[in-house]
Amino acid sequence: MSRAAAAARSVALRDQLVAALRNGDLPMSTPELAALSGLPWHEVGWWGDCTLVHDLVERRDYKLLVCTGQQRHSVLMPPCPGSVYPHLRRLEALGIVARVDFADLAIPTRLQLIAQESQRGNTRPVYWRYTDDQSDVAFNAVLDAMERAG
Ligand SMILES: [Zn+2]
């Protein structure tokens, strides 16, 4: 991939992450953002009892592609959190997104997030929010700068 194509892909990915955070009511975890990032999901084979496999797939918001009824499953899994984390760090450095300090959240919000993530099997993820103190003009200027910087 050329440098320009890689830079364009980074900008598109960061734009997608920001859009997800802008549209969400709650702060989002890195795994949740990876799932919404637009990066490709990957197919894996899972052997196991239907009850266990189907339950896990459902709780984690994966997608069940194939169930043979005889232990063999094919499951679609989201991109790993590590594939979006560096981009979130970059957006954080630019002041577009911010890490959420759990202690600053209202208790009902904290409980809602904990329930959501434990159901998905994520332990103590990092949460992010959009910092809406940026105007659209300022935001577009930052995106342009990112595009040039790569
Ligand atoms: Zn099954």
CATH number of 3-36+81-149, picked from 3.30.70, 1.10.10, 3.40.50, 1.10.3470: 1.10.10
Q: How does pLDDT run across 107-137, given as a tens digit for each residue?
A: 888 888 887 777 777 667 789 999 976 556 6
Domain boundaries, the chain: 3-36+81-149, 42-77
- Residue 138 backbone dihedrals phi, psi, to 5 degrees: -65, -40
Residue 28's DSSP bridge partners are 128
Rounded to the nearest angstrom, the distance between the alpha carbon of 52 and the centre of ligand 1 is: 9
Per-residue pLDDT, 108 = 86
Rounded to the nearest angstrom, the distance between the alpha carbon of 109 and the centre of ligand 1 is: 34
Q: pLDDT category, 91, cuts 50, 70, 90?
A: very high
Mean local confidence (pLDDT), 97-103: 88
Rounded to the nearest angstrom, the distance between the alpha carbon of 29 and the centre of ligand 1 is: 29
Rounded to the nearest angstrom, the distance between the alpha carbon of 63 and the centre of ligand 1 is: 12
Count of beta carbons in the 10 Å neighbourhood of residue 130? 21
Rounded to the nearest angstrom, the distance between the alpha carbon of 32 and the centre of ligand 1 is: 25
Could you give the angle at which helices 3-23 and 136-149 cross, rounded to 10 degrees? Answer: 150
Rounded to the nearest angstrom, the distance between the alpha carbon of 41 and the centre of ligand 1 is: 20
Rounded to the nearest angstrom, the distance between the alpha carbon of 125 and the centre of ligand 1 is: 29
Q: How does pLDDT run across 35-81, given as a tens digit for each residue?
A: 999 999 999 999 999 999 999 999 888 999 999 999 999 999 999 99
